[in-house]
Structure 1
Amino acid sequence: MLKEDDQDPRPWDVLESRHLIQRPWLTVRQDRVRLPNGAIIDDYNILEYPDWVNVVPITPDGRVVLIRQYRHGSRRVHYELPAGVVDATDADLEQTARRELLEETGHGGGEWSRLTTLSANPGTHTNLSHTFLARGVVPLGEPAPEETEEIRVHAVGLDELREILASGGVLQALHAAPLYRYLLTLGE
């Protein structure tokens, strides 16, 4: 792991901070900052989100459980990982990930471990996306997606996963990166 040293860039000083928008799914904060070189930026905008979780779920026979759903921002249907927002009342990240997997796919159980933690954009986003690897998941019931979700569940083999990734079938970068990382853990 890389270590910090005296040559690392220094943090910016926040001179003033105010919220421009505060909505359940969008909070925009505007900071007035001073850079280490003395320059002032009067309107540096930050997106504040709660943390997110994703799951790379693997069945006992080695298939990866993906979902497909419509995303209005891109106006397209994509493959994704089961994922969701960490609620302020959630006990811990793994429990949140287990809940999302069960809700979106009906799968659960298995052996769980942390796979990776990423940022959508550390320059403008306050939150992190935490991905868990869940090996040996099995169907436990029917999916129970939220009212705003229309989800289709697909369990794919590794060759099909590689094709999906290579063709751009996983558009969400915070979902594609953990899938590539999973393939790296297999030595591929």
Structure 2
Amino acid sequence: MSEDRGFADEQSPRRLLESSVAYSGPIWDVVSEKFTLTDDGEPLVRDFIRHPGAVAILAMNEQGQILLINQYRHPVRMTLWEIPAGLLDVEGEDYLTAAVRELAEEADLVAEDWNVLTDLFLSPGSSREELRIYLARGLHEVPEAERHERFHEEAEIKMLWVDLDDAVKAVLEGRIHSPSAAAAVLAAAAARSTGYAGLRPGDAPWPEHHSEHHAWPNGSVR
């Protein structure tokens, strides 16, 4: 069997017949869309969450340890070990600026060096949520007088610095359930072999994010 080292997910626009909002919420909407897989195909209807997207940050110190934060997540009734993250819900704010803001707000840290670890659709069968995960190094603490005041679940955040190998073990043993944390940990472990030299710069394009999408002709969408 031959190997194709250049394989990648691809845009695949289909003919959109109808689109309506079934539920509108403060953060995301539920959208119902009718489309066809081919020009003369049977109409299909799919409901999904329209989400603004998010960024997450794997902060790594000079010793190669990574920062995990512990936070309560009500839908699963658990406290989860995660990495700092947040929504792309500030008008006009670019992805990297959002990541810088979230790292300061949730971890009281600023970073000098930023790279993209990976880009994900978190649940593409039911949600439009896109997530970009960054690796942040060259860390410094935010001065105490300038730190963000955290409320609600964020007020309970606990922080823990762990060795990357210990975090990998926790993922593989099923002790970490956050998809952003698991993906970030495994991606960082894979990138470590080259000294993180193969990672994209922090300001790399993100063409899969919905803000980069444009309308296609004949009612189809990208």
* Distance of aligned partners of 1:3 and 1:163 in 2 relative to their CA distance in 1, 3 Å threshold: closer
Q: Contact (CA 8 Å) 1:55, 1:134: kept in 2 or not?
A: yes
Q: TM-score, normalised by structure 2?
A: 0.75
CA–CA distance in 2 between the matches of 1:168 and 1:145? Answer: 32
Q: Which residue number in structure 2 is paired with residue 35 of structure 1?
A: 37
The one-letter amino acid of 2:41's match is G
- 1:178 and 2:180 are equivalent in the alignment: no
4+ runs deviating over 4 angstroms: none
Gaps of 5+ in 1: none
Over aligned residues, Cα RMSD in angstroms?
2.3
Determine which of 3, 7, 29 is the counterpart of 1:2: 7
Q: Which residue number in structure 1 is paired with residue 15 of structure 2?
A: 13
Q: Contact (CA 8 Å) 2:28, 2:52: kept in 1 or not?
A: no
SS in 2 for 1:39: coil
SS in 1 for 2:166: helix
1:64 CA drift (Å): 0.3
Q: Contact (CA 8 Å) 1:59, 1:138: kept in 2 or not?
A: no
Q: Which residue number in structure 1 is paired with residue 116 of structure 2?
A: 114
Report sequence identity in percent.
Answer: 27
Q: Which residue number in structure 2 is paired with residue 61 of structure 1?
A: 63
* Distance of aligned partners of 1:3 and 1:54 in 2 relative to their CA distance in 1, 3 Å threshold: closer
The one-letter amino acid of 1:28's match is V
* Distance of aligned partners of 1:86 and 1:105 in 2 relative to their CA distance in 1, 3 Å threshold: same
CA–CA distance in 1 between the matches of 2:11 and 2:134? Answer: 31
Determine which of 147, 167, 171 is the counterpart of 1:165: 171
Gaps of 5+ in 2: 1-5, 195-222
CA–CA distance in 2 between the matches of 1:86 and 1:106? Answer: 19
1:62 CA drift (Å): 1.4
Q: Contact (CA 8 Å) 1:52, 1:83: kept in 2 or not?
A: yes
CA–CA distance in 2 between the matches of 1:46 and 1:17? Answer: 11
Q: Contact (CA 8 Å) 2:118, 2:132: kept in 1 or not?
A: yes
Give the structure with the higher percent strand. Answer: 1
Give the structure with the higher percent helix. Answer: 2
CA–CA distance in 2 between the matches of 1:123 and 1:31? Answer: 13
1:125 CA drift (Å): 2.2
1:160 CA drift (Å): 2.5
* Distance of aligned partners of 1:51 and 1:3 in 2 relative to their CA distance in 1, 3 Å threshold: closer
Determine which of 134, 147, 151 is the counterpart of 2:151: 147
Q: TM-score, normalised by structure 1?
A: 0.87
Q: Which residue number in structure 2 is paired with residue 47 of structure 1?
A: 49
* Distance of aligned partners of 1:169 and 1:141 in 2 relative to their CA distance in 1, 3 Å threshold: farther
Count of residue pairs the alignment pairs up: 184
